[in-house]
Structure formats: C-alpha cells, structure tokens
A and B are shown apart, each in its own frame.
Chain A
Amino acid sequence: MNASPVTDADMHAFLDGELSPQRGAEVRAWLAAHPEAARRLEAYRAQRSALHGLFDPVLDEPLPEPLVQAGMPPPATRRGWPWPQLAAGVLLASIGAAGGWFARDLQIETGALARAVPLPHQAAVAHVVFSPDVRRPVEISAEHEAQLVTWLSKRLGTAVHPPRLGSLGFELIGGRLLPGNSGPVAQFMYHDVSGQRLTLYVSTENLGRRDTAFRFAQEGPVNVFYWIDGQFGYALSAGIPKDQLARVATAVYEQLESR
C-alpha cells in the first residue's frame, strides 16, 4: 500500500466521517498498526457520546415561555425603525383630538404613512387640525406679521413670507410652526369674508428635488394644490372647489416666483 502518512487531521476527519471511503480504509488500517493512536481516537469517540449524555437532556426540557414568545414573529410595530410610525401615530392622534368629526372624512391610509408622510397629506392634516379652531387658529396673528416672518424664517433657516391674497378675497390670519417629517415647517392661514379658511403649508425638507409642476390631491373634504420648488414644498389646502383653489394656487405661485 502506498498511502500517504496518516496525520492528526486525518484521525479527526476519520472520526467525523469527513474522509473518502478509500482514505478512511487507509486510516483504519494504519490505526490497527498504531494502538496508541487508536486509544486516543477511542477517547475522542467517548467524548462525543459523553457530551450527548450530558447535554441531550436539554432537548427534552420544556421550552421556557419567553423563548417560545421570542420564536414568534414580533408585532409589526416592533419591527424596523419606529419613528415614521410614531410620527404617523402622533398625526392620527392629533386628528382625533382636534379634528373632531371633520377628520372622520379623511381617508388616512396608515400604509402611506409608514414612511415619510407625503406633502399634501401633511398639509391636509395640518389644515384639518388648525383651521376649525376658532379661538387659536394661529400662533402669531397677522397684526404682528413682521414678527411672524422673522420667527418662521429663523426657525426654517430660510426666508419665508406669506403671499398677499387680498385680490382673491383672502386675508392673512397669521401663521404657526409645525413639525414636518424631519424638521420645522410653516403654516400660514387665510380667510375670506364668509369665514372660509385656507392654509398654505411651507416645507423646506425637499433637499435635492426639483419639481415645479402643480399637483392636485383630494384628502377627504380638503382639496390640496401642491408643488415643489427646489428645497421648498408648498401645499395650499382648503375646503373650497378645485377651480377656485387653483386660482389661489396660481396667485401664490406667481408671487413666490416674482420674489
């Protein structure tokens, strides 16, 4: 027989069934001629059965309840990054608290809220939450417009001015600061003589995107025109007919462009 020398690694591989049948036979023959190595191998074999004897009873132990629970799929809320869901939850809670019956008509899709809340949706929710408020619809009223502009510009990190919509019958009531997807956003509120309210939502969170097309969205009873201009996202929301809102949106857009 012209077999290569049997190494220590061969002995282990032999024991663990990792050798080819031919090499296995060679090792077996070699062991027959080397009793000391054979005894060592027997000791290793005994280790295997002793380890099974020691630890196999664990297999038959009843499973601890916490482990069975951990083996079940976790609830969806525990999976992944919780913040977008939290933000959506806060928005939904806000509607529930402040929107009242008005919000019930809003078709809120939680799936759509699972990631960043789309601009028209944010705007519509903010409109629904604050526009019905008779006593405190805004944080700073139009009487202090300069203060409002300074404050919001400072918080948003860029100059923001409420457009003049008097020619369309809408007067500024004031404005407020709101949380957006990742930072502050501004809301300006207007009303006409009938008390109809209209809000302009200004977000500066659209880094790197440039999309100046007008878009229309209907969020329940609220119509929204929105567009994105560089880092700015604008959304005009009101419970007024689409064509009337379109005229206001056009006026807002022209004023912002000419600035």
Chain B
Amino acid sequence: MDSHALLAELPRLRRYARALVGERSVADDLVQDTLERAWARHGQWRADGELRTWLFAIMHNLRMDQLRKPRLECVPLDEDVAEVPVRASQSDGMELADLAAALAQLPEEQRAVLLLVTLEDMRYADVASTLGIAVGTVMSRLSRGRERLRQILAGEAPSPHLRVVR
C-alpha cells in the first residue's frame, strides 16, 4: 500500500463521510481514523483487492464502532416509528439544504447504501462486501432509502398517526 494511492482516495473518502455523518469536523475525524487504521492494518490489505473498497469498509467499521458507543446526542431512529417534523417543501423539492436535512432523516444503514450506490457508483456486490451484508439486503435498504428520501422531499413523509390499517 503506498501513500500516493491512499491520498488519491482521500477526496472521495471525505465526500462520503461528509454525506454520511453531516458535520464536517466529525466527518474529517472519521476519515483520519480510517487512514490511521489503514496504516495500522496495511498488512491485511491484499494487493489484488480494490483499495477504495477496503478503505470504505474500514470507515464503515469505525462508524459502526462509534454508533455502538452510547452517546447522549444519539437517538436511535426506527424508520417505521420515527417522526421527524418536516417543513412542507415545494413540489420541485430539491433545494440543497432540504436535501441535506432529508438525508439526515434516513436511518444510517439506508443512508450508507444509498450514498455508496448513488454518490460512489459502487456495484451492489461491492456495497455488500464493503458493509458486510448480503446483496439482497443492499437492494432492500436502497429501495427503502430512496423511497423514503423521495417522500420526505415531496412532503409526503409517512406519519405513524395517519397510518390506517386497511
């Protein structure tokens, strides 16, 4: 593993981290931890493997470690129960600030898949190995994530209080 190849991945690692966690300083800390762990474990990297996928997997594992630690500001979001007030948006609904807010409302597991597929253009199989989940799980999280994001941006976010058993 050479530092040139690693540095070449830095912008994309930062972009993904920013989109995943939102706040710039938190995102850059995550990237820094990722680089440090990559060097600490560079013996585990197979030269025939894709460096990017390996780095994203390291970042994912670090992020999971972070989320497992109980923190006061961390509220578990159950996608079916979570009720987040959403400002009614216009029909075009793609203001960037709205998008960032809407993205933040997705459960992280859906957000991660959505970002790896749409922002990173990763194949489903690569997303699966990066996140350590089955391809079928990638597809179901992607489907739910995209649809929920669409609903939030369209002002159609489902509210549990309005859900009626038919």
Q: What chain B residues lie within 8 Å of A61 (beta carbons)?
A: 11, 14
Q: Please give, as numbers and ranges, the residues of chain A lying within 8 Å of B28 by CB-CB distance.
A: 64, 66-67
B142 CB contacts on chain A under 8 angstroms: 12
Provide the residues of chain A in CB contact with B154, threshold 8 Å. 43
Cross-interface CB contact of B118 among A48, A64, A79, cutoff 8 Å: A48
Q: Distance in Å from the Cβ of A180 to the closest Cβ of chain B?
A: 28
Q: Of B29-37, B65-73, B79-87, which stretch is located at the interface?
A: B29-37
**Which residues between 114 and 165 of chain B lie within 8 Å of chain A, taking CB atoms?**
114-115, 117-119, 123-124, 139-140, 142-143, 146-147, 149-150, 153-154
Q: Which single member of B35, B103, B149 contacts A71 (CB below 8 Å)?
A: B35
A179 to B149: give the CA distance in the assembly, Å.
Answer: 63
Q: Which of A12, A53, A58, A68 is close to B96, meaning CB atoms less than 8 Å apart? A: A53
Asked if A67 contacts B14 (CB within 8 A), the reply is yes
> Does A40 sit at the interface, judged by CB under 8 A?
yes
Task: Judge whether B149 and A47 touch: CB under 8 Å.
Answer: yes
Kindly report which residue of chain A lies nearest to residue B15, judged by CB atoms.
A58
Instruction: Please give the distance in Å from B73's CB to the nearest CB on chain A.
Output: 23
Q: With A63-B10, A67-B28 as given contacts, are A58 and B18 in contact (CB-CB < 8 Å)?
A: yes
Contact status of A71 and B6, CB under 8 A, knowing A51-B119, A55-B19: yes
Q: How far is the CB of A58 from chain B (nearest CB, A)?
A: 4
User: CB of A59 within 8 A of chain B?
Assistant: yes
Bound-complex Cα distance A120 to B114 (A): 61
Nearest chain-B residue to A52 (Cβ)?
B119
A53 to B97, CA, bound (A): 11
Of A16, A56, A61, most buried by chain B (CB within 10 Å of CB) is: A16
Q: Is A214 an interface residue (CB 8 A)?
A: no
- Using known A-B contacts A8-B143, A44-B146, A79-B40, determine if residue A50 contacts B14 with beta carbons closer than 8 Å: no
Q: Is the CB of A47 within 8 A of B146?
A: yes
User: Given the complex of chains A and B, what is the CA–CA distance between A72 and B1 in angstroms?
Assistant: 11
Give the complex CA separation of A246 and B31 in angstroms. Answer: 60
Task: Establish whether residues B139 and A13, one from each chain, have CB atoms under 8 Å apart when the complex forms.
Answer: yes
Whether a CB of chain B sits under 8 angstroms from the CB of A46 is yes
Q: Does B3 contact A (CB under 8 A)?
A: yes
- Residue among B3, B40, B118, B143 making CB contact with A51, cutoff 8 Å: B118
**A3-B96 Cα distance, complex, nearest whole Å:** 39
A133 to chain B, nearest CB (A): 42
Query: Chain A: interface residue count, which band?
Result: 20 to 34
Q: Report whether B12 and A59 are in contact in the complex, using a CB–CB cutoff of 8 Å.
A: yes
* Chain A residue, CB-CB nearest to B144: A8
Give bound CA distance, A55 to B13, whole Å. 11
- Whether B99 contacts A67 by the Cβ 8 Å rule is no
Set of chain A residues within 8 Å of B31, measured between Cβ atoms:
67, 70
> Which residue of A is nearest B11, CB measured?
A59
Residue contact B100 to A54, C-beta cutoff 8 Å: yes
Verify if A139 is at the interface (C-beta below 8 Å from B). Answer: no
Instruction: Please give, as numbers and ranges, the residues of chain B lying within 8 Å of A47 by CB-CB distance.
Output: 114, 118, 146, 149-150, 153
By a CB distance below 8 angstroms, the chain A residues around B114 are 47
Which partner residue on chain B sits nearest A53 by CB separation?
B96
Interchain nearest-CB distance for B130 vs A (Å): 15
| Bound-state Cα–Cα, A51 to B115, Å | 8
Complex A-B: 16 CB contacts under 8 Å: A8-B143, A9-B140, A9-B143, A13-B139, A50-B94, A50-B99, A51-B118, A52-B119, A54-B99, A55-B119, A59-B14, A70-B31, A70-B35, A71-B6, A72-B3, A74-B40
| Nearest 9 CB-CB pairings of A with B | A70-B35, A58-B15, A48-B118, A59-B11, A71-B7, A43-B150, A55-B19, A70-B32, A71-B6
